[in-house]
């Protein structure tokens, strides 16, 4: 059972973060990234992002689904959402059904599907999402909601829920900027060949090719998932957490993990 496999990592702030993620399985045409131990360089982002972690005891493949499989997965998750099977705190019309991304995770002979919906409305659509993870029979394994917006102090407020329960509500202390500025910042960010400053947010900004603000937010959300040794169990949790953000492209799991 996935919840048992990830039981040591899905706690506290991590639990909120881990389903801001999109878990995955690779179509035949997808490129798979297999980082070496301690790898720090980025892989070029394929059309259908893929990532693999391998510590010698096994591997986990995560890849965005093709159009047909994605449509089926999104339809299933949407039915759960609209049927009242999920407790969602964002307004119903803020959940972007058209912008959903679907993934498949293969681990230890089991398969799971993950669908991530961007959440807009009063929140940053680039940084906020609802992710639903189901098993091979379509049953809900877990779902989580990550809401990032502005507070009265003009800084980013991070609120996260797992299975409908609040697990973190934090003033990040980072000055708020809107999605338009975030998009512009990401477009103008340096590539992965630039040496990152010695802090997690700056490192992620470099590895993922995003802005410093985005890197800092992702660091706060995903620190619990990624600040652990990369194994066939923990690697996908880390990559999926980071990959749930709309602004993130493809990158080596080893490179991401090296930032934490």
Give the confidence band of 96 by pLDDT, cuts at 50, 70, 90. very high
DSSP labels, 195-221: PPPSSHHHHHHHHHT--HHHHHHHHHH
More confident residue, 132 or 228: 132
Q: Measuring CA to CA, which residue among 89, 234, 244 is closest to residue 160?
A: 89
pLDDT tens digits, 137-175: 888 877 888 899 999 999 999 998 888 999 889 998 988
Q: How do the domains of the chain map onto residue ranges?
A: 2-257
At residue 257, the pLDDT reads 66
pLDDT of amino acid 51: 47
Strands 110-118 and 101-107: antiparallel
Q: For the residues 172-192, what does the mean pLDDT come to?
A: 73
Angle at 66 between CA 62 and CA 69, to 5 degrees: 95
Name the helix (H) or strand (E) containing 238: helix 234-243
* pLDDT reported for residue 234: 62
What pLDDT score does 148 carry?
92
């Amino acid at each position: 059972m996935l919840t048992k496999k990830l039981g040591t990592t899905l706690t506290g702030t991590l639990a909120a973060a881990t389903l801001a993620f999109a878990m995955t399985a690779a179509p035949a045409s997808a490129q798979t990234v297999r980082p070496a131990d301690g790898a720090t360089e980025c892989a070029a982002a394929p059309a259908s992002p893929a990532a693999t972690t391998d510590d010698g005891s096994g591997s986990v493949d995560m890849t965005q689904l093709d159009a047909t499989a994605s449509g089926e997965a999104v339809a299933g998750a949407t039915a759960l959402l609209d049927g009242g099977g999920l407790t969602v705190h964002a307004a119903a019309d803020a959940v972007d059904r058209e912008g959903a991304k679907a993934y498949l995770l293969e681990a230890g002979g089991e398969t799971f599907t993950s669908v991530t919906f961007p959440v807009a409305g009063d929140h940053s659509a680039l940084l906020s999402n609802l992710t639903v993870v189901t098993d091979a029979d379509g049953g809900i394994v877990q779902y989580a909601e990550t809401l990032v917006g502005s507070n009265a102090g003009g800084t980013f407020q991070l609120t996260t829920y797992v299975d409908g329960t609040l697990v973190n509500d934090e003033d990040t202390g980072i000055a708020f900027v809107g999605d338009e500025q975030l998009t512009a910042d990401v477009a103008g960010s340096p590539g992965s060949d630039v040496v990152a400053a010695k802090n997690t947010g700056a490192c992620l900004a470099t590895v993922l090719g995003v802005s410093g603000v985005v890197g800092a937010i992702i660091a706060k959300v995903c620190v619990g998932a990624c600040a652990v040794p990369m194994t066939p169990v923990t690697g996908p949790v880390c990559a999926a957490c980071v990959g749930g953000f709309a602004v993130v492209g493809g990158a080596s799991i080893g490179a991401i993990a090296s930032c934490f």
